[in-house]
């Protein structure tokens, strides 16, 4: 799951953001589907956009590339990644899941490399602001 938020309330800006995300996902070979579940939205304090990845095993490099590109956009105020081990965790995240807070600039500058990317066998919730 990915989320993107913007401080803008301008429909034109938000539409442009959505279009850029669609182009990015296509370029990286990922299929995104918009999600509206209240629990998912609550995980990130109701961002403007939340998507699930429609690929049973998406490439971590593609996910990182999309997050880094979105972090560089001036309209982006925050981003999020929910990594789950199974589909059930998307609608019912583990009780022990803790949100990890990082600076959005760490994605743009790649200061942390990809050490933040979760292991495949562990659920993780990351929030960049």
Question: Which helix or strand (DSSP H or E) is residue 78 part of?
Answer: strand 76-83
Residue 72 in this model has a pLDDT that exceeds 70: yes
pTM of structure: 0.87
pLDDT tens digit string along 54-71? 765 678 889 999 999 999
Mean pLDDT, the chain, integer: 87
Mean pLDDT for 106-115 is 70
> Which of the pair, 50 or 40, is modelled with greater confidence?
50
DSSP state letter for 97: -
- Contacts of residue 25, Cβ cutoff 8 Å, sequence gap at least 6: 31, 32, 66
> Which of the pair, 7 or 90, is modelled with greater confidence?
7
Residue 1 in this model has a pLDDT that exceeds 70: yes
Q: What is the pLDDT of residue 56?
A: 57
Crossing angle between the packed helical segments 11-27 and 60-72, to the nearest 10 degrees: 150
């Amino acid at each position: 799951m990915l989320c993107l938020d913007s401080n803008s309330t301008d429909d034109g800006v938000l539409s442009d953001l959505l279009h850029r995300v669609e182009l990015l996902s296509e370029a990286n070979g990922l299929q995104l589907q918009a999600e509206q579940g209240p629990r998912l939205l609550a995980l990130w304090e109701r961002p403007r956009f939340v998507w699930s990845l429609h690929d049973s095993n998406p490439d971590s490099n593609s996910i990182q590339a999309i997050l880094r590109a979105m972090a560089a956009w001036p309209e982006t105020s925050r981003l999020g990644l929910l990594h789950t081990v199974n589909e059930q965790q998307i609608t019912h995240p583990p009780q022990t899941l803790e949100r990890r807070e990082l600076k959005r600039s760490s994605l743009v500058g790649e200061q942390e490399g990809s050490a933040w990317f979760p292991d495949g066998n562990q659920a993780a919730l990351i929030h960049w602001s």
